[in-house]
Structure formats: C-alpha cells, structure tokens
C-alpha cells in the first residue's frame, strides 16, 4: 500500500462539515470531503462525475495537526447581481495560520496520478473555500508505507516561528485524525464520506475516525537554545580564589 502526503498551509483555511443557513463553521482540521474536492479540482474531474469521485473517495484518509492555528470569525455582506437587493448577513469562521499534513492511502497508480495533477492542477486549489488559497506547494511526496507510519515519519511542517515557541522540547506531540479500519474500536462517526459533488444534490455518507497522537522531532531544539548548540561551560566561582591563594 502507498501513501500520498499533502501539506495544507495558508493564511486562512475553512473546512466545513456542515452549514446552517447564514452560519458557516469550520472543523479544527481538514475534512476528507474537502481534500478529495481538492484532488478532484487538480485532476479536472467534473462535478457531476460520481464514478470518478468514487475512485478518489476510496482512498483512506488521515490528517496530522502540525500547527492548529486560531479560529476567527468574519461577517459577509452581498447584493443580488440583478436586483441589487441586499442579501442576508452571513457569519463565517476560518482557521488562521494553521498547518496540516494530510495523508491518502491507496493504489500507487492513482496516488501518482493525483501527485502529478497537484503539481499542474487543472483548476485552482483552495483550502476549503475559494477565498483560502494555499501559501506553499501542496504536494509533499508519495511513500510505500502505511498511513499511520507515513504520518509518524513526516518531519514537522509547522512554521519556523511556531517551532521556535517549542524550542525547549526535543519532540512535540501532534494530534492525528485517521480513518478507522474495519472493526477498529473507539471511532468517532462523521458525515464526511463524499458520494456526489453535484450542485443539485451533494451527498455524503458516514465514516469512522480514530484520534491518536504521534511524537515527532523538533528540528530547532538542537539549534536554537538547545544543549547541542549552546553547551554550558564549566564555571566555578571559587576557581579564581584558589588560583590567587599563596
């Protein structure tokens, strides 16, 4: 089995699993439907192509929270393009300064196709909403390993300033949300398995998610204030007194 790793980083992200009228929320981490939608855009998949979507949605999904970001709220106003009438005020939530590592496990040929498409996407890529473009290249690498091992081995992708906040820690504990395997216990159920992206009838099924934690090395621990970079010299204040004594 192979795994495609993605880095999802940008000034703003919004991964909504549900929307109620004028209130548009965001989950604390990328959703499978949102990431599969990104792959569909990259490969040029038509919105009504449910067969092609099923091929992408068959990939097993997981995400690691490298930098949780800050949840912010914004208000949107709009006017009807024809009548000029004011539309209802909407409330929208975003994640600011967040970084995630998403993993998709499945057939190597399909993952290589997605990896190539992400480098030269057929349509622009967004982090959940059109107003949230990525600030860094999305694709990382493809590995012949398991989803759990890939999320464990990938170096920490948080921004440098965020890593420096944890420079006293040689390893950092990162939360992982991964799609549960058959009969795996302690799974949370989410309506986040995409069945159709058709505008007239978007449909999602339930999927099970397991929450775990992985420890990854902090690359700045040994270079910024760490013991390897700044060894503390031996100093005894009584040495000078001993040397001057007759």
User: What per-residue confidence (pLDDT) applies to 90?
Assistant: 79
CATH 3.30.70.2660 fits 2-158+177-214, yes or no: yes
Q: Alpha-carbon torsion 27, 87, 11, 122, what sign?
A: positive
- State the pLDDT at residue 2: 96
Question: Phi and psi of 112, rounded to 5°?
Answer: -65, -35
What is the per-residue pLDDT for 79? 73
- Mean pLDDT across 215-236: 64
Is the pLDDT confidence value at 81 over 90? no
**Could you read off the pLDDT of 160-211 as tens digits, one per residue?**
999 999 988 999 999 999 999 877 877 888 999 999 999 888 899 999 999 9
Closest CA to 64 of 172, 200, 223, 225: 172
For 135-156, write each residue's pLDDT tens digit: 999 999 999 999 999 999 999 9
Q: What is the pLDDT of residue 159?
A: 94
- Chain-wide mean pLDDT for the chain? 88
Task: Give the CA distances from residue 204 to residues 19, 79, 190, 201, in Å, rounded to whole numbers and listed in that order.
Answer: 13, 30, 10, 10
pLDDT for res 228: 44
Give dist(CA 11, CA 33) in Å, integer: 21
What share of the chain in percent tops pLDDT 90? 69
- Of the listed ranges 26-30, 48-52, 92-96, 199-203, the least confidently predicted one is 199-203
Per-domain residue ranges of the chain: 2-158+177-214
pLDDT (average), residues 74-93: 80
- State the average pLDDT over residues 62-83: 88
* Interval 94-123 mean pLDDT: 96
Task: Among 36-50, 82-96, 174-188, name the most confident range.
Answer: 36-50
Q: State the average pLDDT over residues 47-52.
A: 94
Q: In this predicted structure, what is the pLDDT of residue 65?
A: 98
């Amino acid at each position: 089995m192979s795994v495609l790793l993605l880095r999802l980083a940008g000034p703003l992200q919004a991964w909504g699993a549900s929307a109620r009228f004028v209130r548009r929320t965001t989950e604390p981490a990328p959703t499978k439907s949102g990431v599969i939608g990104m792959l569909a855009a990259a490969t040029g998949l038509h919105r009504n192509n449910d067969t092609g979507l099923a091929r992408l949605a068959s990939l097993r999904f997981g995400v690691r929270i490298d930098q949780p970001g800050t949840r912010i709220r914004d208000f949107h106003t709009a006017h009807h393009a024809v009548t000029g009438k004011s539309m209802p005020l909407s409330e929208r939530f975003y994640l600011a300064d967040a970084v995630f590592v998403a993993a998709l496990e499945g057939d190597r040929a399909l993952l290589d196709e997605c990896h190539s498409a992400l480098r030269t996407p057929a349509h622009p890529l967004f982090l959940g909403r059109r107003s949230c473009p990525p600030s860094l290249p999305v694709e990382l690498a493809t590995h012949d390993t398991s989803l759990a091992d890939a999320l464990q081995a990938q170096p920490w992708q948080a921004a440098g300033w965020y890593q420096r906040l944890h420079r006293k820690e040689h390893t950092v504990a990162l939360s992982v949300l991964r799609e549960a395997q058959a009969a795996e216990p302690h799974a949370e159920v989410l309506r986040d398995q995409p069945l159709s992206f058709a505008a007239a009838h978007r449909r999602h099924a339930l999927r099970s998610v397991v929450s775990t934690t992985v420890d990854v090395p902090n690359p700045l621990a040994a270079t910024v204030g760490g013991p390897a970079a700044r060894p503390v010299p031996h100093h005894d204040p009584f040495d000078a007194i001993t040397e001057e004594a007759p």
